[in-house]
Amino acid sequence: MVRRPGILVDLTPLRRYPEFRDLWLGWVVSVLGSQLTVVAVPYEVYRETGSSLQVGLVSLASLGAVLVGSFGGGAIADHFDRRRLLLGTQVLLAATSAGLALNASLAHGSLAGIYACSAAAAALSGIGGPTRSALVVHLVDREALVAANALWQLLAQIGTVVGPSLAGLLLARVGLAALYWIDTATFAAAVVGVLRIRRGGGRAERGGLDASALLGGLRYIRANQVFQAVYLVDLNAMVFGMPRALFPALGLGRFHGGPTAVGLLYAAPGAGALLGALLTGRATRVRRQGRAVLVAVAVWGAAIALFGAVPLLALALPLLAVAGAADVVSALYRGTILQLEAPDALRGRIQAVQWAVVTGGPRLGDVEAAGVASAIGPVGSVVSGGVACLVGVAAIAWLLPGFDRYRAGRETPEQHGGGLRAGPTTTRGGRTTTEPTTPRLRRATTRTDEGEG
């Protein structure tokens, strides 16, 4: 008898795939440390300048680095041994956190130093993130990928709950420099996790890192309605509905709290996301994953709009938690769609675009939220952003209907407006490359929808 999945997150990938488990455990520690820095950087900037706009500009300064690192990193991840590449990025990321610690230790820390270290970390994350996502596909079987992604979401949310809460408590006790040094030390766990992986995750692309290689993933995406929607729906949520740049102003001003209140605001979305990740046991049963993403982002936008309208911290925190739970559902299915549908020859580049969206979107959201707040105030900025997110979801569902119709394990991106797939390898001038090609049109197998869940 086949065992039906339970409600709680499926731990099978941790038991069945030792290399995935080692990588996952290493990242648990590293993510906790990184979340300390996520809170420490905006807090330090706001404390020194008193400006939410400056907090947003730090994120904007990192945006270019994210884009360059992501698009270049995707091609690099398809060219080099992914295990070694991931190892190198973790060592260099530790160096950026050490730089922040040294800067915070100075009597008069440099704002330019914060900008530089943050930008460098963003660029390195743009290489390491797509590399890790492409590597995970080789560590578990295809049917276990949704459960593995759910565990990765759980890992991220553990960090976003514990890390910011801990940062709020430690800021007043040990100071900024100590938080940055703790983050630096936690990268050792990630390094150990990567070292325990025996396989390199392949080198799908052995050609040069020229413009054609860098644009290969973009050509694939341009021909796929489903992939376009995956990126646009997340950009919509993060640009219009991500008010984190306003958390210091809201925590210290509107809710009349101190560093602890600021830390709680940063932690609340992660708390909801953690609960959502813990309850993903039946996620593999959802077939209409595109529709699930649209519904989740709509819930996110509504919760953010209500968060901006309530005057009490006790009411605001649960709404942020609801938004976080919706976000983890969206992220789970968006990531799975990309991993399953992208050919390995282009997987690094496809994941690189996703990483650029995931990391760049919130930074654009910081600038949008801070800019609107400077004109109409923090409350107006948050409420209008949530409403704009809802309008964006409706527009995407209308303009890209193939995404709403997408069914996991049944229809492919090619059936939603065509697409590119990995083609044959060719040798030019002694260099072997894998070219993406346009698939021939094919007739979908006829099936009825009656009775399908």
Task: Note whether residue 6 is domain-resident.
Answer: no
pLDDT at 214: 61
Q: Identify the band that residue 396 occupies on the pLDDT scale cut at 50, 70 and 90.
A: very high
- Please name the residues in contact with 395: beta carbons below 8 A apart, sequence gap of 6 or more: none
Closest to 68 (Cα-Cα) out of 123, 121, 110: 123
Name which of 44-53, 185-194, 338-347 the model is least confident about: 338-347
- Residue 371's identity, in one-letter code, is G
pLDDT at 389: 93
Per DSSP, the three-state class of 427 is strand
Stretch 48-59: mean pLDDT: 78
Inter-residue contact 128 to 219 (CB < 8 Å): no
Dihedrals phi, psi of 55, to nearest 5 degrees: -60, -45
Stretch 262-285: mean pLDDT: 81
Q: What share of the chain is helix, strand, coil (3-state, %, to 5)?
A: 75, 5, 20
Per DSSP, the three-state class of 426 is strand
pLDDT at 425: 38
Q: What does the alpha-carbon distance between residue 313 and residue 254 come to, in Å, rounded to a whole number? A: 9
Instruction: Characterize 156-175 residue by residue with b for buried, 16 or more Cβ atoms within 10 angstroms of its Cβ, and e for exposed.
Output: bbbbbbbbbbbbbebbeeee
Dihedrals phi, psi of 342, to nearest 5 degrees: -85, 135
Q: What does the alpha-carbon distance between residue 296 and residue 300 come to, in Å, rounded to a whole number? A: 6
Give the DSSP per-residue string, 335-358: HHHHHHHS-TTTHHHHHHHHHHHH
Dihedrals phi, psi of 373, to nearest 5 degrees: -65, -35
More confident residue, 279 or 185: 185
User: Which range scores top for mean pLDDT: 159-168, 291-300, 359-368?
Assistant: 291-300
Q: What does the alpha-carbon distance between residue 296 and residue 311 come to, in Å, rounded to a whole number? A: 25
Q: What does the alpha-carbon distance between residue 272 and residue 317 come to, in Å, rounded to a whole number? A: 9
More confident residue, 4 or 111: 111
Task: Note whether residue 438 is domain-resident.
Answer: no
Residue 255 exposed, middle or buried by CB count within 10 Å (0-12, 13-18, 19+)? buried
Distance of CA 338 to the CA centre of its chain: 13
More confident residue, 67 or 139: 139
Q: What does the alpha-carbon distance between residue 280 and residue 325 come to, in Å, rounded to a whole number? A: 11
Closest to 189 (Cα-Cα) out of 415, 34, 293, 296: 34
Q: Look-up: residue for tokens 């150990």?
A: 192
User: What value does the mean pLDDT of the chain take?
Assistant: 78
Task: Note whether residue 105 is domain-resident.
Answer: yes
Q: Identify the band that residue 199 occupies on the pLDDT scale cut at 50, 70 and 90.
A: low
| Residue 302: both structure tokens together | 């509504």
pLDDT at 451: 34
pLDDT above 80: residue 301: yes
Inter-residue contact 158 to 382 (CB < 8 Å): no
Stretch 133-162: mean pLDDT: 82
pLDDT above 70: residue 210: no
More confident residue, 129 or 321: 321
Task: Note whether residue 433 is domain-resident.
Answer: no
Closest to 423 (Cα-Cα) out of 227, 212, 226: 212
Q: Identify the band that residue 435 occupies on the pLDDT scale cut at 50, 70 and 90.
A: very low
pLDDT at 91: 93
Stretch 384-397: mean pLDDT: 92
Considering the chain, what percentage of its residues have pLDDT values greater than 70?
Answer: 83
Residue 117 exposed, middle or buried by CB count within 10 Å (0-12, 13-18, 19+)? buried
Q: What does the alpha-carbon distance between residue 165 and residue 168 come to, in Å, rounded to a whole number? A: 5
pLDDT at 1: 39
Q: Identify the band that residue 43 occupies on the pLDDT scale cut at 50, 70 and 90.
A: confident
pLDDT at 89: 92
Handedness of CA 127, 122, 266, 167 (dihedral sign): positive
More confident residue, 405 or 296: 296
Inter-residue contact 159 to 32 (CB < 8 Å): yes
Give the DSSP per-residue string, 183-220: HHHHHHHHHHHHHT-------S--S--SHHHHHHHHHH
pLDDT at 128: 85
Per DSSP, the three-state class of 47 is helix
pLDDT above 70: residue 69: yes
Give the DSSP per-residue string, 298-325: HHHHHHHHHHHH---HHHHHHHHHHHHH
Task: Note whether residue 448 is domain-resident.
Answer: no
Stretch 288-309: mean pLDDT: 90
- Residue 58's identity, in one-letter code, is V
Torsion of CA 213, 214, 220, 222, to 10 degrees: -140
Give the chain's domain count. 1
Q: What does the alpha-carbon distance between residue 74 and residue 346 come to, in Å, rounded to a whole number? A: 8
More confident residue, 163 or 18: 18
Domain span at residue 120?
Answer: 12-425
Task: Note whether residue 129 is domain-resident.
Answer: yes
pLDDT above 80: residue 77: no
pLDDT above 50: residue 422: no
Instruction: Characterize 363-400 residue by residue with b for buried, 16 or more Cβ atoms within 10 angstroms of its Cβ, and e for exposed.
Output: bbbbbbbbbbbeeeebbebbbbbbbbbbebbeebbeeb
Inter-residue contact 436 to 219 (CB < 8 Å): yes
Name which of 106-120, 181-195, 205-219, 424-438 the model is least confident about: 424-438
Inter-residue contact 75 to 346 (CB < 8 Å): no
Task: Note whether residue 410 is domain-resident.
Answer: yes
CATH number of residue 333's parent domain: 1.20.1250.20
Task: Note whether residue 32 is domain-resident.
Answer: yes
pLDDT at 319: 93
The pTM of the full predicted model, rounded to 2 decimals, is: 0.68
Stretch 236-262: mean pLDDT: 80
